[in-house]
Amino acid sequence: MYTQTLLTSIAFVGAALAAPSRGHGHHSKAPNVTIKCPVVFDGRVPTGTAATFFDTSNALFNPDYVKGNNLKWSDILKFPSVDASRFDAGGYQAVEVTISDKSIFQQQNGFRRAGLQFIQDSPQGPGTNGVKTLHWSVKQDPQRALNLTHEYLNVWHEAADYSADQIQFQTGQIIGKSASDKNNFKILDRNGKSLYSVAMDMKNWQNFAVTLDYSKNQVTIYYSVNNDPLKAVKTGLSADLSGQGQFQLGILKKPTGTNDVVNSGYQEKNLNEGQIYGGLFVEDSANGCVSL
Ligand SMILES: *[C@@H]1O[C@H](CO)[C@@H](O)[C@H](O)[C@H]1NC(C)=O
Ligand SMILES: *[C@@H]1O[C@H](CO)[C@@H](O)[C@H](O)[C@H]1NC(C)=O
């Protein structure tokens, strides 16, 4: 929900030309080949990439969406000096998505948000059919801690008509729900039903993957910590994945004290929050292939 992007593919032309080297001998350390299936969307950030790389057409993410109206990605993205996450080993680095008081997208004054979209993703594209697995790793930044009194939407797949998110990776206190699991990451279906939940780890990398079987409307969830191989923690759950659309990865912080979360409510001032990401990619899981 909530994206209402007007046009997401403006930046596509020229993306291939701007492609950085992807580990073909330009890095001193050989890639640790943990990805074994065909990569459909690649959001892994090559080591040494400058923040300004994301301000204009580039091979990884949409430069125009989804962010504060007067911000550039180079204002939003940081590159913390943390160990590479499991699927970033061999030439890729962590990227932190931050939000501030300026993180107001369009007229959405209730939210503070910044979300990355894979440049090749499109509302009717390859991320919306067959069997695909989205991978992401997260790490917490003690300098930019999230305020878990609020509801956060961090990673999701949003239907093409923006009416729902088929899968939602969240943290904090979900509005209208108990605060008892506010310190947990939660994976919810489009109706807010919990599919998986695990405590946020304030020190280590947490690796997640979700296999979306669009024809069977089934979801399988994988999880591990640091460099441990992913393990299936939920298998073949039923979930309505219809409606096509796009992935988004970042932070969408909802306000408190309102029924109209898009437009109103409370957000504290002088916000400086971040979520560190690594190992962002979507692979083709036809024939059951999943990189663990
Ligand atoms: C590659 O990853 C595996 C675990 O997934 C690890 O045991 C191995 O040491 C890694 N190799 C390199 C060269 O980093
Ligand atoms: C966290 O959010 C709540 C609700 O908006 C606010 O009252 C509180 O001051 C915030 N805490 C911090 C540390 O910013």
Residue 135 sits in a domain whose CATH number is: 2.60.120.1160
Q: Is the pLDDT of residue 123 over 60?
A: yes
Taking residues 85-100, report their average pLDDT. Answer: 96
Whole-angstrom distance, CA of residue 195 vs CA of residue 219: 9
Q: Confidence class of residue 23 from pLDDT cuts 50, 70 and 90?
A: very low
Q: Which two tokens stand for residue 147?
A: 């305020």
Residue 12 CB–ligand 2 contact under 6 Å = no
DSSP string, the chain: -----S-S-GGGTTTTTTPPP-SSS-SSSPP-----S-EEEE--EETT--GGGGTSS-SSB-SSSSS-TT--HHHHEE----PPPGGGTTTEE-EEEEE-TT---TT-TT-EEEEE-BTT--TTSGGGSSEEEEEEEEE--GGG---TTSEEEEEEEE-TTSS-EEEEEEEE--TTS-GGGTTEEEEEETTS-EEEEEEPPSSS-EEEEEEEETTTTEEEEEEEETTSPPEEEEEEEE----S--EEEEEEEEPPBS-S-TTT-SB--SS--EEEEEEEEEEEE-GGG----
Considering only CA atoms, which residue is closest to atom 1 of ligand 2? 147
Q: Is the CB of 109 under 6 A from ligand 1?
A: no
Ligand with minimal distance to 88 CA: 1
Whether the pLDDT of residue 27 is over 80: the answer is no
**Do you know the residue count of the chain?**
292
Ligand nearest to the CA of 228: 1
* pLDDT at residue 4, as a whole number: 52
Instruction: State yes or no: pLDDT of 164 exceeds 80.
Output: yes
**117 located within any domain:** yes
Q: Is residue 118 part of a domain?
A: yes
Atom of ligand 2 nearest to the CA of 147: 1
Among 13-22, 44-53, 174-183, 268-277, the range scoring the smallest mean pLDDT is 13-22
Give yes or no for residue 5 having a pLDDT over 70: no
State the virtual CA torsion across 224, 238, 248, 199 in degrees, nearest 10. Answer: -40
Question: β-strand 151-158 against 246-253: which pairing, if any?
Answer: antiparallel
pLDDT of 273 over the 50 cut: yes
Position 31 scores a pLDDT of 47
Average pLDDT over residues 56-73: 97
Domain hosting residue 139, numbered range? 39-287
Taking CA atoms only, the protein residue closest to ligand 1 atom 7 is 227
Ligand 1, atom 11: nearest CA belongs to which residue?
Answer: 32
Percentage of the chain beyond pLDDT 90 is: 87
**32 pocket-lining for ligand 1 (C-beta < 6 Å):** yes
Query: Is position 8 within any domain?
Result: no
pLDDT confidence bin for 21, thresholds 50/70/90: very low
Our answer on whether the CB atom of 258 is closer than 6 Å to any ligand 2 atom is no
Inside any domain, residue 14: no
Higher per-residue pLDDT: 9 or 45: 45
Show Cβ contacts of residue 81 under 8 Å, excluding neighbours closer than 6 positions.
none
For the cut 50, the answer to whether the pLDDT of residue 13 exceeds it is no
What's the mean pLDDT in 108-118?
98
Structure confidence at residue 71 as a pLDDT band (50, 70, 90) = very high
Higher per-residue pLDDT: 267 or 26: 267
pLDDT at 12: 37
Domain count, the chain: 1
In a domain, 3, yes or no: no
Predicted confidence (pLDDT) at residue 135 exceeds the cutoff of 60: yes
**pLDDT level of residue 120 (50, 70, 90 thresholds):** very high
Distance (Å, rounded) from C-alpha 41 to C-alpha 281? 5
127/129 Cα distance (integer angstroms):
6
- Residue 266: CB within 6 Å of ligand 2? yes
The answer to whether position 153 is within a domain reads yes
Spatial contact of 120 and 12, defined as CB atoms under 8 Å apart: yes
The closest of 205, 262, 213, 202 to 235, measured between CA atoms, is 213
For residue 79, is it within any domain? Answer: yes
**Residue 1 confidence (pLDDT):** 66
Q: Is the pLDDT of residue 15 over 50?
A: no
Token pair 């039923």: residue: 238
What confidence tier does 33 reach under pLDDT thresholds 50, 70, 90?
Answer: low
Give the mean model confidence (pLDDT) for residues 233-260.
Answer: 98
In this structure, how many other beta carbons lie within 10 angstroms of the beta carbon of residue 175? 16
Residue 28's pLDDT band (cuts 50, 70, 90): very low
Q: In the predicted model, what is the mean pLDDT of the chain?
A: 91
The answer to the question of residue 86 being in a domain is: yes
CA of 32 to the centre of ligand 1 (A): 6
pLDDT of residue 34: 84
Asked if 172 contacts 162 with a C-beta cutoff of 8 angstroms, the reply is: no
